[in-house]
Amino acid sequence: MPTSEDLPVLAHVRAATREDAAAIAEITNYYILHTPIHFGVDPVSAEAMAQTWSARSDRHPWVVVELPGMGVVGYAKAGTWRERAAYAATAETGLYVRHGLGGRGLGTLLYQRLISDCRDRGLHTLTAGVALPNDASERLHRSCGFIQVGTFRQVGWKFGRWHDVAFYQLMLG
């Protein structure tokens, strides 16, 4: 396996496609089943991920990162923040890296590409929610230019306890 220093050099970040849905679902399901980082409680299918991607991809980018011999090992996505027309230029982001590969710069590569793609599509503001505690995600968001704008206390119930969610914002324009 490549060393931590090699991963960003070897990584290839590209736009997600429908064919990436199975890998995206697998990555997501780890966080659903084993952590409070994702507030879903039921695993997602590849087909459900493909449908979500299809419904959003015309307006909101999704990107994946691949490593040689490993395929897709992470993804970042933008999506609708709120439904009303006034929020059309604001998107909510999400980012997940295969368990065991965090802290090696892959999240930064994903966010750099996602942020660029969001700018190219004319988005003005990005938001992100981080289930707490999650020091790694908070560091990642700050390092990519997001600023914390608030924390909602005890809004997510998972694994028998309440979790806070910190909210971050990045102005693109």
Q: What is the pLDDT of residue 9?
A: 78
Q: What is the pLDDT of residue 53?
A: 83
Instruction: Say whether 86 sits in a helix, a strand or coil.
Output: helix
pTM, entire model: 0.93
Across the chain, which distance is largest between two alpha carbons, in Å?
47
Instruction: State the 10-residue block means of pLDDT for the chain, 173 residues long.
Output: 62 96 97 96 93 84 97 97 95 97 96 97 97 96 98 97 98 92
Instruction: Say whether 134 sits in a helix, a strand or coil.
Output: coil
Rounded to 10°, the helix 21-34/46-56 angle is 110
Residue 76 β-bridge partners: 63, 95
Q: What is the pLDDT of residue 7?
A: 65
Q: What is the pLDDT of residue 18?
A: 94
Rounded Cα distance between 169 and 92, Å, is 9
Q: What is the pLDDT of residue 49?
A: 92
Rounded Cα distance between 166 and 129, Å, is 6
Count of positions (residues) in the chain = 173
**How close are the terminal C-alpha atoms of the chain, in Å?**
40
For domain 7-171, the CATH architecture is 3-Layer(aba) Sandwich (3.40)
The alpha helices in the chain, defined as continuous H runs, are 7-10, 21-34, 46-56, 106-120, 135-143
Q: What is the pLDDT of residue 57?
A: 74
Element spanning 15, H or E: strand 12-15
Q: What is the pLDDT of residue 56?
A: 77
Question: Does residue 68 contact residue 75 with C-beta atoms inside 8 Å?
Answer: no
